[in-house]
């Protein structure tokens, strides 16, 4: 079974499952702090993207900073001759040195937004971006209107079709809802980590709720224990950034692992694997949700796409999960 959802008020129809393309960017850093997911095999990335297309996925989310441009370049290569078949979302705000794979700053000044857009268009090998997202979670809401207006100008110029904000804060999301061509808010959301206030905004204003970290950065795959240690060039490793909550000191956060284990029986019911159950929870959470699990291999793509065969969890399963979480 393949089912679809609307990309918010854009009216664009996409598969209910997207693909997050952070990991395929490979390693990159900011002042010694790793921000990627370790080394990747570009050929495997290309095979995985093609497999996702074969399985009905047509929505791919990346950012200019992922691998300091490398993720966008991989997508640009993968979609040669297929651009009309895919919906591409990318993000802006970071300034970086592509050769050194180093993030050097950030800017959302109008001129820098325009330059970032032009650079992304080149790397993606496309004439337009379907969804262009502001990539600064905590940027002050009171300063965000000029960003929104610059994005409206890019829509008029045909550089982008729609735009959104990757933020977990409802006051930030509210600012963008006032823009005619705002279509989505990207938020951290999974069965272990709900965000009802931002989901409510997406439902109120008919925006897509694009779900980053739908598998809690791997904790909902069932492959991690309290002793698992990601590599030193992995954002989840021992030198992880301050905002990292799912991993601490280079190991999975036991609080989240405990919750995941408590939910395992419900999430794996009806023949689902654990990640498939986690994706099913998101589809049942709201009609606006569009999870974008990351991937590095064909195998990961196939397992995640397998969730489409089962669809959302039932109302009873959702209530049972909530009861278990309330006790944690």
What are the pLDDT tens digits along the chain (328 aa)?
569 999 999 999 999 999 999 999 999 999 999 999 999 999 999 999 999 999 999 999 999 999 999 999 999 999 999 999 999 999 999 999 999 999 999 999 999 999 999 999 999 999 999 999 999 999 999 999 999 999 999 999 999 999 999 999 999 999 999 999 999 999 999 999 999 999 999 999 999 999 999 999 999 999 999 889 999 999 999 899 989 999 998 999 999 999 999 999 999 999 999 999 999 999 999 999 999 999 999 999 999 999 999 999 999 999 999 999 986 5
What gap in Å lies between CA 322 and CA 318, rounded to an integer? 6
Relative to beta strand 208-212, strand 289-291 is parallel
Question: Taking a C-beta distance cutoff of 8 angstroms, is the pair 60, 89 a contact?
Answer: yes
Question: Taking a C-beta distance cutoff of 8 angstroms, is the pair 251, 257 a contact?
Answer: no
What gap in Å lies between CA 22 and CA 36, rounded to an integer? 7
C-alpha pair distances (Å), 10 with each of 63, 92, 125: 20, 20, 23
Alpha-helix residue ranges (DSSP H) falling in 157-251: 170-177, 196-205
Q: Look at the chain and report how many structural domains it folds into.
A: 1
Residue 2: predicted pLDDT: 64
CATH number at residue 293: 3.20.20.100
Q: Tell me the backbone φ, ψ of residue 180, rounded to 5 degrees.
A: -55, -40
What gap in Å lies between CA 140 and CA 118, rounded to an integer? 25
Relative to beta strand 13-15, strand 4-6 is antiparallel
Which residue range(s) make up the domain with 237?
4-326
What gap in Å lies between CA 283 and CA 147, rounded to an integer? 30
Residue 138: predicted pLDDT: 94
């Amino acid at each position: 079974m393949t089912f679809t959802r609307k990309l918010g008020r854009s009216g664009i129809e996409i598969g209910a499952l997207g693909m997050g393309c952070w990991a395929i960017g490979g390693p990159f850093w900011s002042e010694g702090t790793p921000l990627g997911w370790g080394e990747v095999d570009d050929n495997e990335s290309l095979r995985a993207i093609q497999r996702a297309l074969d399985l009905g996925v047509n929505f791919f989310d990346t950012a200019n900073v992922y691998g300091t441009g490398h993720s966008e370049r991989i997508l640009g290569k993968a979609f040669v001759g297929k651009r009309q078949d895919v919906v591409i979302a990318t993000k802006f705000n970071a300034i970086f040195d592509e050769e050194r794979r180093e993030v050097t700053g950030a800017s959302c000044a109008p001129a820098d937004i325009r330059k970032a857009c032009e650079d992304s268009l080149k790397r993606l090998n496309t004439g337009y971006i379907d969804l262009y997202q502001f990539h600064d979670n905590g940027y002050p809401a009171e300063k965000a209107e000029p960003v929104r207006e610059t994005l409206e100008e890019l829509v008029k110029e045909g550089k982008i079709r729609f735009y959104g904000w990757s933020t977990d804060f409802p006051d930030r999301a509210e600012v963008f809802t006032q823009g005619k061509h705002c279509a989505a808010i990207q938020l951290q959301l999974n069965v272990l980590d709900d965000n009802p206030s931002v989901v409510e905004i997406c439902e109120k204003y008919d925006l897509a709720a694009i779900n980053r970290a739908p598998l809690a950065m791997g904790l909902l795959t069932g492959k991690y224990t309290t002793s698992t240690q990601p590599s030193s060039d992995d954002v989840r490793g021992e030198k992880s950034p301050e905002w990292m909550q799912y991993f601490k000191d280079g190991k999975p956060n036991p609080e989240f692992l405990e919750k995941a284990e408590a939910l395992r029986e419900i999430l794996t019911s009806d023949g689902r694997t654990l990640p498939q159950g986690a994706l099913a929870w998101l589809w049942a959470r709201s009609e606006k949700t569009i999870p974008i699990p990351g991937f590095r291999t064909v195998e990961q793509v196939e397992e995640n796409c397998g969730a489409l065969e089962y669809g959302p969890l039932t109302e009873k399963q959702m209530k049972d999960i909530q009861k278990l979480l309330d006790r944690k």
